[in-house]
């Protein structure tokens, strides 16, 4: 038996037990981009394309029917004038129907071994066995972990890590999701330390089964609109925006935001009393009305004036599942070509050059593969939730330029509902390019029977904090529908503009083309 020391630097989450465990289980080469590990994978859950299977052919047929009905706008006439607030129950059945729709169940391209971020050693030599068993040094805090290649015994956070692929963070209808989010919401917090870096206060929390989450506290009321005189870069982060972004990203069919749940945390029992982070502990105080507050240490907004206050010890927060540690799965950070100037007086290049996109299209990594349309996917998410703060985005290094973009850090979304921010859509407007599958799902979400606000309301009602108050107020939900119309109008304008040349093909990037061959071969 190896006795695991959990003594660690409070501000260095990378030294945490999770990393050691994964390093043992998931035999990855820490810095390698794409080099294959020594053993095999035991993954499940994702529907990959098997050319011969009847199932694939059936789902392709269903999809092709669905495509033509979306194209004809067959259902668009149903009940368009109906009022826009619906019961959560009817929204839930809409959400079910949406997720059952063939557009969400397309067989993907085949998943190869190299398409998984991490791999499991399924056979362990006797000589290596000892390192598979971890016994916590502080027994009352952490559970003993005896995990091996047997997937059934893995905790949900580990299944989540092992399910990350080149294409997405988790599969559609992920059987692991319920337990994963339930544990985030309820498991005992055994450690809470500040996450260094970034501009605002964040904590890394750990659970008895070595799972970890990133914690962002509630800083403003849900119905408070961001002050109009505040520049976007001075805006606070919102815990409900992190939660809502996860739901919206999943509803759009992307699955590029790590799962997030809301949780009421007792800041005394679950943070102050247990933290080993003395710098954090020292910033706790009791406000004049008897609420417990703290502010931590960070480059901005970490002062008594910007303290986070509980009521009197209960604080709403968002908890996001941590991605695999960087030492196991390195990530690359990319500057957005359409990043804002982060200055009150300067314009960015994209704001003054009308042909900016043609330059970007010639630049790595946007000059080949799907990065440009992936970027446009992200822009659409950001416009819908009015997030102006996407200065960078990250990808997993292992997958090179042929992978999805991570949609991390959504805390500045959903700040204003009464105003849209057309400049967020500039990349779509300037490049006139969108994935067919995205465009079709957006059109689906504009139909009354799947209306975006209704499925979002329903999806958010499943979050634990919904019982305290709805996570997005009705005006925010209504803004989603309005913005969705704007996105679809922008695509239509692009198609008109390009109707002279190759028409729609110029605008719509056909990522469903491979399915057509299948439809033909399916007869």
Ligand X SMILES: Nc1ncnc2c1ncn2[C@@H]1O[C@H](COP(=O)(O)OP(=O)(O)OP(=O)(O)O)[C@@H](O)[C@H]1O
Specify the residue, 88 or 330, whose C-beta has the smaller distance to ligand X: 330
456 is in an annotated binding site: no
> Which residue has 């009705």 as its token pair?
474
Which range of residues in 141-149, 220-228, 368-376, 407-415 is near Mn ion by CB under 5 A? 407-415
Q: Name the nearest CA neighbour of 167 among 398, 390, 10, 349.
A: 398
**Interface with Mn ion includes 242 (CB under 5 A)?**
no
Q: Which residues contact 153 (CB under 8 A, 6 or more apart)?
A: 146, 147
Which range of residues in 136-144, 147-155, 405-413, 438-446 is near Mn ion by CB under 5 A? 405-413
| Nearest approach, Cβ of residue 396 and ligand X (Å) | 12
For residues 403 and 397, give the distance between their C-alpha atoms in angstroms, rounded to a whole number. 9
Specify the residue, 214 or 274, whose C-beta has the smaller distance to Mn ion: 214
For Cα atoms 138, 143, 149, give the angle at the middle one, nearest 5 degrees. 130
| Nearest approach, Cβ of residue 195 and ligand X (Å) | 6
For Cα atoms 86, 442, 257, give the angle at the middle one, nearest 5 degrees. 90
Q: Which residues contact 330 (CB under 8 A, 6 or more apart)?
A: 30, 31, 396, 397, 398
| Nearest approach, Cβ of residue 199 and Mn ion (Å) | 6
**Which partner from the list Mn ion, ligand X, none does 329 bind, CB cut-off 5 to 8 Å by kind?**
none
Answer whether the bond into residue 365 is a cis peptide, omega within 30°: yes
Does residue 389 have an active-site annotation? yes
Specify the residue, 174 or 409, whose C-beta has the smaller distance to Mn ion: 409
What 8-state DSSP symbol labels residue 171?
Answer: -
Read out DSSP for 222-288? TTPPPPTTS-GGGPPP-HHHHHHHHHHHHHTT---S--EEEEEEETIIIIITT---HHHHTT-EE-T
| Nearest approach, Cβ of residue 341 and Mn ion (Å) | 16
| Nearest residue relative to ligand X (C-beta) | 198
Contact 313, 266 (CB under 8 A): yes
Contact 184, 319 (CB under 8 A): yes
Binding mask 207-246 for ligand X (x = CB under 6 A): -------x----------------------x---------
| The only residue of 67, 192, 408, 413 in contact with ligand X, by rule CB under 6 A | 408
Residues facing residue 206 across a β-bridge: 191, 212
Specify the residue, 184 or 434, whose C-beta has the smaller distance to ligand X: 184
**Interface with ligand X includes 387 (CB under 6 A)?**
no
**Interface with ligand X includes 262 (CB under 6 A)?**
no
216 is in an annotated binding site: yes
**Which partner from the list ligand X, Mn ion, none does 322 bind, CB cut-off 5 to 8 Å by kind?**
ligand X
Helical H segments across 87-233, by residue range:
88-100, 156-162, 177-186
321 is in an annotated binding site: yes
Size of the site for Mn ion (CB under 5 A): 1
Specify the residue, 202 or 247, whose C-beta has the smaller distance to ligand X: 202
**Interface with ligand X includes 277 (CB under 6 A)?**
no
**Given 235, 277, 389, 463, the catalytic residue:** 389
Helical H segments across 120-228, by residue range:
156-162, 177-186
**Interface with ligand X includes 411 (CB under 6 A)?**
yes
Q: Which residues contact 259 (CB under 8 A, 6 or more apart)?
A: 160, 170, 177, 180, 181, 184, 246, 320, 321
| Nearest approach, Cβ of residue 235 and ligand X (Å) | 11
**Interface with ligand X includes 198 (CB under 6 A)?**
yes
Which range of residues in 192-200, 370-378, 439-447, 503-511 is near ligand X by CB under 6 A? 192-200
Q: Are strands 260-266 and 191-194 parallel, antiparallel or unpaired?
A: unpaired
For residues 467 and 477, give the distance between their C-alpha atoms in angstroms, rounded to a whole number. 18
394 is in an annotated binding site: yes
**Which partner from the list ligand X, Mn ion, none does 320 bind, CB cut-off 5 to 8 Å by kind?**
ligand X
For residues 345 and 340, give the distance between their C-alpha atoms in angstroms, rounded to a whole number. 11
515 is in an annotated binding site: no
**Interface with Mn ion includes 409 (CB under 5 A)?**
yes
| The only residue of 91, 107, 155, 258 in contact with ligand X, by rule CB under 6 A | 258
**Interface with ligand X includes 409 (CB under 6 A)?**
yes
429 is in an annotated binding site: no
Buried/exposed 361-394: b ≥16 CB within 10 Å, e otherwise: eeeebbeeebbbbbbbbbbbbbbbbbbbbbeebe
Annotated binding site for ATP: 200, 216, 237, 320-323, 394, 409
Residues involved in catalysis? 389
Contact positions toward ligand X, by CB under 6 A? 197-200, 202, 214, 237, 258, 320-323, 394, 408-409, 411
């Amino acid at each position: 038996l190896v006795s695991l020391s959990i003594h660690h630097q409070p501000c260095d989450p990378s030294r945490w037990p999770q990393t050691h465990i994964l390093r043992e289980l998931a035999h990855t080469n820490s810095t390698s981009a794409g080099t294959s590990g020594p053993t095999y994978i035991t993954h499940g859950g994702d529907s990959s394309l098997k050319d011969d299977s009847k199932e694939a052919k059936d789902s392709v047929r269903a999809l092709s029917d669905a495509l033509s009905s979306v194209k004809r706008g067959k259902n668009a006439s149903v009940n368009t004038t109906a009022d826009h607030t619906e019961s959560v129950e009817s929204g839930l059945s809409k959400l079910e129907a949406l997720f059952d729709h063939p557009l969400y169940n397309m067989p993907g391209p085949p998943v190869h071994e190299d398409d998984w971020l991490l791999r499991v050693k399924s056979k362990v030599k006797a000589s290596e066995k000892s390192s598979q068993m971890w016994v916590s040094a502080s027994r009352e805090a952490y559970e003993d972990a005896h995990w091996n290649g047997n997937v059934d015994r893995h905790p949900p956070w580990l299944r989540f890590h092992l399910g990350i692929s080149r294409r997405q963070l988790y599969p559609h209808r992920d059987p692991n999701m319920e337990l994963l989010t339930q544990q985030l919401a309820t498991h005992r917090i055994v450690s809470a330390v500040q996450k260094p870096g970034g501009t605002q206060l964040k904590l890394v929390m750990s659970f008895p089964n070595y799972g970890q989450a990133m914690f962002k506290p509630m800083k403003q009321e849900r119905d408070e609109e961001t002050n109009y005189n505040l520049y976007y870069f001075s805006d606070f982060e919102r815990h409900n925006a992190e939660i809502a972004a996860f739901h919206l990203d999943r509803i759009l069919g992307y699955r590029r935001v790590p799962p997030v749940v809301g949780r009421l945390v007792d800041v005394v029992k679950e943070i102050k009393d247990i933290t080993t982070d003395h710098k954090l502990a020292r910033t706790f105080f009791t406000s004049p009305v008897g609420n417990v507050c703290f502010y931590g240490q960070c480059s901005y907004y970490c002062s008594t004036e910007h303290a986070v206050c509980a009521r009197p010890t209960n604080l709403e927060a968002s908890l996001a599942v941590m991605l695999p540690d960087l030492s196991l799965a390195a990530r690359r950070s990319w500057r957005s070509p359409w990043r804002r100037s982060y200055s009150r007086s300067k314009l960015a290049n994209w704001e003054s050059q009308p042909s900016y996109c043609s330059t970007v299209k010639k630049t790595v990594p946007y000059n080949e593969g799907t990065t440009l349309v992936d970027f446009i996917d992200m822009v659409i998410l950001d416009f819908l939730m009015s997030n102006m703060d996407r200065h960078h985005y990250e990808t997993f290094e292992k997958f090179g330029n042929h992978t999805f973009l991570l949609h991390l850090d959504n805390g500045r979304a959903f700040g204003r509902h009464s105003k849209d921010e057309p400049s967020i859509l500039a990349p779509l407007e300037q490049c006139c390019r969108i994935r067919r599958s995205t465009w079709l799902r957006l059109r689906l979400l504009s139909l009354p029977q799947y209306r975006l606000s209704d499925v979002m309301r329903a999806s958010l009602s499943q979050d634990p904090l919904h019982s305290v108050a709805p996570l997005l107020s009705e005006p925010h939900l209504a803004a989603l529908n309005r913005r969705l119309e704007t996105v679809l109008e922008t695509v239509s304008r692009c198609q008109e503009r390009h109707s002279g040349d190759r028409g729609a093909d110029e605008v719509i990037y056909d990522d469903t083309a491979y399915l057509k061959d299948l439809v033909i071969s399916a007869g």
